[in-house]
Amino acid sequence: MELSELYPHSASKSVKWSPDGKFIAVALNYRLLIRETANLGVTSLFSCNADIGDLEWSPDGDYVACLIPKRSMVQIWCATKSTKSGNEWSCKIEESIAGCTSVRWSPDSRHVLTVSDFQMRLTVWSVVDRSSMHIHHPKSSSQGISFNKSGVYLAVLQRKDSKDMVSIYSTDNWENVSTFTLDTFDAVDLAWASDDTCLCVWDNCVNYKICVYSLNGGKLYEYQAYEHALGIKSVQWSCTTSQMLAVGSYDQKVRLLNPLTKKCMMEWNHSAPLSRANTTVYRESPSDSPYEPINYVIDSSATMTLPSTKPPTDQANPKMGVSWIRWSPSGRYIASKNDNTPNVIFIWTVTKSHPSCVLLHRSPVKTAAWDPSHDRLVISCGESVIYFWTPNSASCVPIPGGTMVQSLTWRGDGEAIGLVDKSQYCVCYLDPDENLV
């Protein structure tokens, strides 16, 4: 494993890999830098009209869209190649009075989607013929807007006449394919199944309800685990099948649903005592001196109850319940985080009723992500250490230079990780032939 030098950046969402993994885009105040991932040399430098708040690569990897919140503007740059005339191609989208809070690309890399302030409208802009199309009343700028896996359809969660609705649009001509009313109280988000045959929509935290709909609006499945208590907090489809849907809730449980059979296949309780016979517990062991490495040790207790925190009852959005769920690439494992035990990552095998592994850290977990190509998880607790887990073992890797890793992103091939601090970042290169853990 090798670590690059430290480089500066200026925003939390300002370091992103290109789709092919050959380049990395970085925002530094008003400047956009494109670096080669092989040596991190700068290949292109662009100047925007003001500080960059967010950036997005186009799916084909040719363009980068930069969100400029202060100017209600999006600037697009040709990042990896020039035009036939040799001139740099660029594009500017101005929302002026309407404002602009988010930007994303369509799958064809020729349309850009922006959402105005107060979610008044979603606009689809063509960077080819300068045309635009408006979709009114999106519920959110960051949630409820999703393309299916094949990129053929766009689903938008809307609120009209005090009712939740979903509109499906064809990305070929941006015409409305279907619009249907939802059987929800106040839906917050939606997600496509991995095979694009259906999508699920779930209510806000006040009401536990999740519904699965076909593309024409037919309700295929509805699930409600309980009533009169805080409900759903996180949802994710299996990456390999549409027959498994993981739902995390405020009662500290993950429920594995099968929309086809309309049954709850598994219910995983994060607050239950752990048994050494069923679960391997890795505990982060602090070093006695700065010269000794931090590592995991296996807890040998026959049974143990994880230390938990009690959230304040007088504050909104309490830190409790399962806030994070991610499937492994093979679909065999699920990693989860329960906010009542913020220092712990749970690893579940989908065929077992108990956790296969628990990773207990000294500090609260900031972020975690699966290797895109292998069942390998990397974890960060906001310190100068990253943690790896595989089905065979676990390990701690110190990061020199005092980098306090706040977020991390895998390169598409799983051979490099971007480690991002508040003001600087580096790249961790992994040897594909080296067994790290």
Q: Residue 285 has what pLDDT?
A: 86
pLDDT above 60 for 45: yes
Give me the mean pLDDT over the 298-317 stretch: 83
Q: Is-same-fold flag (1-135; 274-301+320-437)?
A: yes
Percent of the chain, pLDDT > 90?
Answer: 81
Mean pLDDT of 413-419: 95
pLDDT at residue number 146: 97
pLDDT (0 to 100) of residue 288:
62
Tokens encoding 426: 């580096």
Instruction: Supply 330's token pair.
Output: 């093979």
Its CATH architecture, for the domain 274-301+320-437, is 7 Propeller (2.130)
Alpha carbon distance 355, 334 (integer Å):
9
Residues 225 and 179: beta-carbon distance below 8 Å: no
Taking the C-alpha atoms of residue 91 and residue 58, their distance in angstroms, rounded to an integer, is: 13
What is the percent of the chain where pLDDT is above 70?
A: 96
Question: What residue ranges do the domains of the chain occupy?
Answer: 1-135, 274-301+320-437
Q: How confident is the model at residue 99 (pLDDT cuts 50, 70, 90)?
A: confident
- For every residue of 335-404, DSSP letters joined together read EEEETTSTTEEEEEETT-SSEEEEEE-SS---EEEE-SSSS-EEEE-SSSEEEEE-SS-EEEEE-TT---
In the predicted model, what is the mean pLDDT of residues 27-31? 96
Please report the pLDDT score of residue 289 as a whole number.
Answer: 57
Instruction: Decide if pLDDT at 428 tops 50.
Output: yes
Taking only the tens place, the pLDDT of each residue in 318-367 is: 899 999 999 999 999 999 999 999 999 999 999 999 999 999 999 999 99
Query: Kind of pairing, strands 63-68 and 280-285?
Result: unpaired
Q: What is the pTM of this model?
A: 0.93
- The domain defined by 1-135 carries CATH number 3.30.420.10: no
Examine the pLDDT at 84 and tell me if it is beyond 50. no
Q: How large is the average pLDDT for residues 153-161?
A: 95
Chain mean pLDDT for the chain: 92
